[in-house]
Amino acid sequence: TGVQGQSLPVAVGVGLHLKGAEPGRIAVVHIGDGTWGEGAVYEALNMAQLWQVPVLVVVEHNGIAQSTPTERQMSGTVAARAAAFGVGHLRIDSVDVTDVRAALTPVVEQVRDRHRPYVVECVTHRVGPHSKGDDTRAAEVRERAARH
């Protein structure tokens, strides 16, 4: 969706449908670390856990919430936020596709088998602006991106 944070409620709806209509399939949604500032994320994660929805939430943690370093706009951690809802969490610190695949395989199977949401936090680097023509990142963020 074009509205930040609104893709998670949609994914929960898709996962709920799949749970009943196509068992064994899961919904997957990608959000950024800055998206944890949106209330819809918490509402959707709560419902996914309560309704036992097979949804995998992939968090691209690049340390930048649009143009603000994440640590300046989000207190706590993604892991603690998932834990608050009783949702499993895995942090992947590698950007090597082989490592990511190896880490994701058992998580995907768990989401399929247990019909429960799971949050996977992938630590990565954003090397460009948030959107085309929009590089409002702070100088320190641009410098950090240039190193990658």
C-alpha pair distances (Å), 65 with each of 33, 87, 89, 123, 129: 7, 23, 20, 14, 11
- Predicted TM-score of the model (pTM): 0.86
User: Which H or E run contains 50?
Assistant: helix 39-50
Whole-number Å distance between alpha carbons of 116 and 87: 8
Residues 6+ positions from 50 with CB-CB distance below 8 Å: none
Model pLDDT, residue 66: 72
Residues 6+ positions from 106 with CB-CB distance below 8 Å: none
- DSSP letter at 10? H
- Report helix, strand or coil for 40: helix
Q: Which residues are bridge partners to 57 per DSSP? A: 29, 119
Model pLDDT, residue 113: 96
Asked whether the predicted pLDDT for residue 51 surpasses 60, the reply is: yes
Q: What is the mean pLDDT of residues 132-137?
A: 58
Q: What is the mean pLDDT of residues 125-130?
A: 71
Please, what are the domains in the chain? 7-146 (3.40.50.970)
Share of the chain above pLDDT 90, in %: 63
C-alpha pair distances (Å), 51 with each of 70, 77, 117: 30, 24, 10
Query: Identity (one letter) of the amino acid at 90?
Result: L
